[in-house]
Structure 1
């Protein structure tokens, strides 16, 4: 990437392709948004990350990419939209402080809190905050009553923010121009993490309006919302609603939903447009957004790109820190025994992609148990066979084995589905049997029969859901809370019925990696020993 190529994208790619969701009506002629001869336009390059979840093996490449973007652009900001915590053994061992060392090295300008920043309570978060060489922003999180973190919480808009302190918003002066940045964190955090009773989450729309007003009173007309509420999340707050309801936000740098926005989303709901970006997950990409403002602070040009970190060389200093200080302890942790298997846990490809296995049952049982702690109404869990990659032999279960079984780090999602939609999903699950398919679903909280001799789409014969009184027939018109992994929830393996629910905001994303959920569930069993069996949750009538 070089500056000339970036300029080319700003001139042409904006008009050609802004990502437009079905809920946003944008006239084709407005996508470019270029006015005639803007007076003193101001160009700013944003770099952004989100939902890195302690994936540090590629962090040295990320720092190289950051340095290169800074070399090519005069006015830059580096922002993180939350969920640095939780997801790999780097977090389990270092509780975010390993990530923090690299964020300080990279020179981040600001970060907002994700829900997972509260997973270990505010004492762990306070240690992270106080060591940061950048400020934090979150306008709708009130921390002034919490004993662990209140001394870092300033609860105001600051024109002179200090490192290691928390503000509703901050003002950054970049080459003579002032830019306002405020933060938002999903209110779902109360239910899906562990913030504690003294952390208060206030209405995100009201707080956003107040932050914009505060900036504008200071004459600041370039305003960025750094958010961890999701692009189109079903949890009650998201970036699309924010852009539509709050006037004056120029750019939303988002996280939480792990969306790979290869082009920005453009929302034109008010007097001025809002550009939304998000950079998927796990540090796989460094998001960049070139944005040009006119003298009134209106966005008149923009071009976004996700830089694939794999294409960069490692920064030597960062690589040495990782390899000498952090990686050895993580490699040692992989040998940790997390439980015992009294029986062989069958994850062989030919089995998990065609029928019920004891490992599939164990994984979905753990998924359902975790989901119930978040949403007690969850009654079903589903796991795609393609997400189970190996067996576990009888005896000690190590972390390394668990992460071999579930190597993708898929996180938990909870869908709201009708009985009719669940049946449609099960038909898709068994449509290829006896041919192996990664879409084959393992289940908990339900059982069903099908006949593989019948045509695809007509195979499922009975479906029962386990409720308080035992198993009852699935009701077509009833809505059920269904846990799965986020890959499947977004329509992976051809689950269009799930993708539709996701696009309609019927999916909540509490997070929690699949291997973590599995490990926690095993540790909760008596003597940390598991002996799951094939129990007739899925029966092919053609072979029985």
Structure 2
């Protein structure tokens, strides 16, 4: 058996940079042209949303890439349901690849069965047969309000059932398309598969666990991974090294122009990084910018942005457009304001280290703040001190908090915050960022809002 796989995942806002999306297609074309067997091209979710064009076209901009890329198999990520279940079905029906999902149900039936979604499929290459199935994080209905009607069952049990069915059919290898994040390790340890192609979090992964190869290319279409199932070897391909496909670029350029999101709202001299490290490892300039904008718009005591809501991507530099700011927080959700007692505020902010996100890396920091200073004991992974406006939090005082409306619904992130705390809603997140940029500019600095327990800035 000599089989090559090409793995992409979490393309998300890659479409907002038409050249980058076009390079994804160009890279796959180049790998296909290499000597060797025709590769199997596989996507492991969040490849339709979120993003600027995704908001405007409800994920259908992905079809511009899919129809050129012509993947073999795709599975769902949590954001592939951002625009409702009917839209997700429409994209499945119009896209060229097979879609697999083993643990997503609606009203007791497999989701999407009427438009061709299957629990698993078999791909043939040169006489070899590869079984492919897909599993989704079972926290998805809590992570994405539009997915609430879905029943997402235990992914490991679903994987065992799918793997057994495929082995019974005599396949030569079994591949899991996993949108579980760090849950890939558990999946690999519990199920007899040859490879787990993962997604859901922006950090990259290439490793072996008990004979199973695990890969994760990160987010934003920066990297594609090529896996040889024969020996488990993995090649890492930088998308920026590939030539862009002209047809994909022209279609996405036209969409971006038609969306009317090219207004310049500010200028940045020193690049504002949007890497996984910047977003999830403590205080960052991009996180401060977002939290400051929320607090400014609401006139609140504290601004709060969950780290996972700030999307990784190219740095903000030079002229910054509305489209650039949509790509930072690409969700059709408002900024909302809560009123909390000091005791409740402390409980909310402890979510920076206590959020119950199974897909997350264990050392991630989950908050960006404005108007507050948080002392973080990284060794104990706990929050040990909080001040607001330079003063200790008064348990009996009332504080206002501006944050994304999503956190009022999520039971996994900042669970101490819920709808009873909301007192008003403002504009959509990216509109708040754009207004702030026009009024105050874009020049965030790291100011010691999040510090290690020893006292040094993180």
Question: Per the alignment, in what secondary structure is the counterpart of residue 55 of structure 1?
Answer: helix
Equivalent-residue separation in structure 1 for 2:318 and 2:144 (angstroms): 30
Matched, 1:335 2:270: no
SS in 2 for 1:361: helix
CA contact (8 A) 2:50 2:79 kept: no
Aligned residues of 1:364 and 1:442 also touching (Cα < 8 A): no
Pairs aligned (count): 362
2:12 is paired with a residue whose SS is: coil
1:290 aligns with one of 212, 216, 228: 228
Residue of structure 2 in register with 1:454 after alignment: none
Distance 1:466 1:50, change over 3 A: farther
Q: Secondary structure at the match of 1:139?
A: coil
1:319 to 249, 262, 273: 249
TM score, norm. by length of structure 2: 0.65
Residue 259 of structure 1 pairs with residue 203 of structure 2:
yes
Deviation at 1:87, TM superposition (A): 3.4
Change (3 A) 1:508 1:241: farther
**Are 2:69 and 1:106 aligned?**
yes
Deviations along 1:235-265, one digit per CA (max 9) or x if unpaired, are: xxx100111112x10001110012223xx21
TM-score, normalised to structure 1, is 0.56
Contact persistence 1:522–1:530 (CA under 8 A): no
Distance 2:233 2:62 in 1: 29
Q: How does 1:145-294 map to 2 (within 5 A)?
A: 152-153=112-113, 165-230=116-181, 232=182, 238-246=183-191, 248-261=192-205, 264-268=206-210, 273-292=211-230
Distance of 1:131 and 1:310 partners within structure 2? 28
Structure 2 equivalent of residue 399 of structure 1 = 322
Distance of 2:90 and 2:55 partners within structure 1: 15
SS of alignment partner, residue 416 of structure 1: helix
- The alpha-carbon deviation at position 348 of structure 1 amounts to 8.9
Match of 2:353 in 1: 416
How far off is 1:361 after superposition? 2.9
Q: Deviations over 1:33-75 (max 9, x none)?
A: xxxxxxxxx0110001111004122122221211121122314
Matches within 5 A, 1:450-529: 463-464=386-387, 469-470=396-397, 520-521=428-429
2:233 to 303, 309, 314: 303
Structure-1 separation of matches of 2:45 and 2:153: 18
Q: How does 1:361-372 map to 2 (within 5 A)?
A: 361-363=292-294, 371=306
1:143 is displaced (CA, Å) by 3.2
Contact 1:48/1:253 (<8 A) preserved: yes
Shift of 1:285: 1.5
SS at 1:97's partner residue? coil
Q: SS at 2:193's partner residue?
A: coil
After superposition, give the CA deviation of every residue in 1:285-317 in whole Å (9 maximum; x if it has no partner): 22111121xxxxxxxx12112211111212233
Match of 1:31 in 2: none
Q: CA deviation at 1:102?
A: 1.2
SS at match of 1:84: coil
What's the C-alpha RMSD, in Å, of the aligned pairs?
Answer: 4.9
Correspondence 1:117 to 2:80: yes
Which one is further off, 66-75 or 280-289?
66-75
Q: 1-side partners of 2:57 and 2:131: how far apart?
A: 32
- Mapped to 2, the partners of 1:90 and 1:79 lie a distance apart of 22
Partner of 2:455: none
- Structure-2 separation of matches of 1:447 and 1:388: 25
State how far apart, in whole Å, the 2-side matches of 1:529 and 1:106 are: 37
- SS, match of residue 167 in structure 1: coil
The 2-side partners of 1:242 and 1:399 are apart by: 40
Q: Equivalents in 2 of 1:401, 1:75: separation in Å?
A: 37
1:65 equivalent to 2:2? Answer: no
User: Do the aligned residues in 2 keep the contact of 1:135 with 1:165 (CA within 8 Å)?
Assistant: yes
Query: For 2:249, what is the secondary structure of its paired residue?
Result: helix
Which ranges in structure 1 are unaligned for 5 or more consecutive residues?
A: 1-41, 155-163, 233-237, 293-300, 338-344, 375-380, 393-397, 419-440, 450-460, 473-482, 485-506, 511-516, 540-544
Counterpart of 1:49 in structure 2 is: 8
Q: Is the 8 A contact 2:291 2:305 kept in 1?
A: no
In the TM superposition, residue 522 of structure 1 has moved relative to its aligned partner by 7.2
- SS of the counterpart of 1:256? coil
Contact residue 269 and residue 317 of structure 2 kept, 8 A: yes
- Note the C-alpha offset of 1:518: 10
State the distance in 2 between where 1:538 and 1:258 align.
Answer: 24
Equivalent pair of 1:49/1:79 in contact (CA under 8 Å): yes
Match of 1:133 in 2: 96
SS at match of 2:2: strand
SS in 1 for 2:165: helix
Question: Is the CA contact (8 Å cut-off) linking 1:135 and 1:166 kept in structure 2?
Answer: yes
The question of whether the paired residues in 2 share the 8 Å contact of 1:48 and 1:286 is answered with: yes
C-alpha offsets along residues 163-189 of structure 1, whole Å, 9 cap, x if unaligned?
x52111111121111111000011121
8 A Cα contact 1:50 1:278, kept in partner: yes
Gaps (5+ residues) in structure 2?
Answer: 271-282, 332-348, 356-366, 376-383, 405-411, 416-424, 441-446, 451-458
Report the Cα distance in structure 2 between the residues aligned to 1:280 and 1:172, rounded to whole angstroms.
25
Contact 2:293 2:432 in 1 (8 A): no
> Greater Rg, structure 1 or structure 2?
1
Which structure: greater strand fraction?
2
